[in-house]
Amino acid sequence: MSSLPPCPKCQSQYVYQDANLFICPECGFEWTDADQQSASEQGITDANGNLLADGDTVTVIKDLKIKGSSSVVKVGTKVKNIRLLDADHSKDGHNIDCKIDGLGAMKLTSKYVKKT
């Protein structure tokens, strides 16, 4: 019985294992078990170094301009129910996906928030 993980790149189920290496025949991606563990253990932390999790409530610690708009997320704004983005999806250092009352959906940078 095999319980190989799907390919982290293309989600292919046809991954095979060669010693410590996992290989995806569909996209050619190769990785090791250690790679996978470090990726999932590499947490996203707030300004104080506390580990953040999906669903946390955080407070913004500095005024943040919203790209392409004149709106500002004010310091002290509470942001509920954040969703963490993995490195592949976080562009420009934005690694938190959230919705802010009155402002809508946006992405934040974890170093400008603190867990409440």
Q: How far is the CB of 40 from Zn ion (least distance, A)?
A: 18
Report whether 15 contacts 22 (CB < 8 A).
Answer: yes
The partner residues of 106 in beta bridges, in order of sequence, read 98
Edge-to-edge order in the sheet of strand 30-32 = 16-18, 21-23, 30-32
Binding of residue 9 to Zn ion (CB under 5 A): yes
Among 14, 21, 23, 29, binds Zn ion (CB under 5 A): 29
Which residue from 5, 10, 3 is spatially nearest to 88, judged by alpha carbons? 10
Binding of residue 4 to Zn ion (CB under 5 A): no
Binding of residue 30 to Zn ion (CB under 5 A): no
Q: How far is the CB of 88 from Zn ion (least distance, A)?
A: 13
Q: How far is the CB of 4 from Zn ion (least distance, A)?
A: 12
Binding of residue 10 to Zn ion (CB under 5 A): yes
* Residue spans of alpha helices (H) in 14-101: 33-41
Question: Other CB atoms closer than 10 Å to residue 58's CB: what's the count?
Answer: 24
Among 5, 6, 20, 27, binds Zn ion (CB under 5 A): 27
Binding of residue 7 to Zn ion (CB under 5 A): yes
> Amino acid identity, residue 105?
A
Binding of residue 24 to Zn ion (CB under 5 A): yes
Contact positions vs Zn ion (CB under 5 A):
7, 9-10, 12, 24, 26-27, 29
